[in-house]
């Protein structure tokens, strides 16, 4: 008999794996049967995860047709970016007196991992480390609500169609890395107004 905690764990695991599939995969459509086979899980946790993802707006379950991963409208995408600009620039200003040498080293290491992923052609790893750079800047301040808001916005931005587009834009991906380094260099110089401005310009490029 499966314990209650195990059921919750399975549901959460299915939720994260389906979300990861949306970001890393090329398919805009799938089905419950396909997910059962791919994830090697029973229908119950997958169905619960799908219902949660549909409620959160990540996908639509179409009777007799399957599951379609939803895309953001230009307005929705731009609103999410505006939210990210607000919370990330505020956090960066607050971090001015808190950033340590260890933080600088970690941010440098993250950018290095981005470069390694880029040269290896590992798109999924590159996207993950791109997110980690922004996440780490928020963690320096430690506002848990901002971190939750960032995660939600980031996940909504990187849908299947966005991922497919980025995979075929190597120059854009290289630019992301260079812009992260520019932000970090301003932080190292303790020129936080410049760091904030570079961050705004970096995020604004994601608008449609």
pLDDT in tens, 96-146: 999 999 999 999 999 999 999 999 988 778 888 999 999 999 999 999 999
- 66-90: string of b/e by CB count within 10 Å (b at 16+)? ebebbebeeeebeebbeebbebbbe
What is the largest distance, in Å, between two alpha-carbon atoms of the chain?
Answer: 59
Kindly state the average pLDDT of the residues 159-170.
Answer: 64
What band does 1 get if pLDDT is binned at 50, 70 and 90?
very low
- Does the pLDDT at position 43 exceed 60? yes
Q: Given a cut of 60, is residue 3 above it in pLDDT?
A: no
20 or 199, greater pLDDT = 199
CATH of 74-204 given 1.20.120.530, 3.90.550.10, 1.10.760.10, 1.50.10.10:
1.20.120.530
Angle 84-207-112 from CA coordinates, rounded to 5°: 65
Average pLDDT, the chain: 88
Q: In the chain, which residues fall in CATH 1.10.10.10?
A: 4-69
- pLDDT score at 20: 79
Instruction: Give CA–CA dist 138/144, Å, rounded.
Output: 9
Q: Which one is predicted more confidently, 111 or 27?
A: 111
- Pinpoint the residues of the chain covered by CATH 1.20.120.530: 74-204
Stronger pLDDT, 203 or 156, i.e. the higher one: 203
Map tokens 């834009």 to a residue. 169
Task: Give the residue-averaged pLDDT of 9-24.
Answer: 85
pTM: 0.82
What is the distance between the terminal CA atoms of the chain, rounded to a whole angstrom? 50
Give me the residue label for tokens 């812009």.
179
Q: Which of 118, 88, 115 is nearest to 183 (CA)?
A: 88
Residues 6+ apart with CB under 8 A from 18: 35, 39, 46, 49, 50, 53
- Is CATH 1.10.10.10 what the domain over 4-69 is classified as, yes or no? yes
Q: Is 115 exposed, middle or buried (0-12, 13-18, 19+ CB in 10 A)?
A: middle
């Amino acid at each position: 008999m499966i314990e209650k905690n195990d059921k919750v764990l399975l549901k959460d695991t299915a939720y994260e794996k389906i979300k990861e599939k949306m970001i890393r995969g090329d398919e805009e459509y799938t089905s419950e049967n396909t997910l059962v086979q791919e994830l090697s899980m029973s229908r119950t946790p997958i169905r619960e995860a799908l219902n949660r993802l549909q409620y959160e707006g990540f996908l639509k379950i179409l009777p007799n047709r399957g599951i379609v991963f939803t895309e953001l409208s230009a307005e929705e995408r731009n609103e999410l970016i505006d939210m990210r600009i607000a919370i990330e620039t505020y956090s960066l200003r607050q971090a001015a007196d808190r950033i340590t040498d260890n933080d600088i080293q970690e941010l440098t290491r993250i950018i290095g991992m981005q470069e390694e992923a880029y040269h290896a052609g590992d798109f999924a790893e590159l996207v993950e480390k791109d997110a980690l750079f922004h996440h780490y800047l928020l963690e320096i301040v430690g506002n848990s609500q901002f971190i939750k808001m960032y995660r939600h916005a980031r996940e909504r931005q990187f849908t299947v169609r966005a991922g497919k587009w980025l995979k075929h834009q190597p120059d854009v991906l290289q630019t992301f890395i260079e812009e992260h380094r520019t932000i970090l260099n301003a932080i190292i110089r303790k020129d936080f107004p410049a760091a904030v401005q570079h961050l705004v310009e970096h995020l604004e490029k994601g608008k449609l």
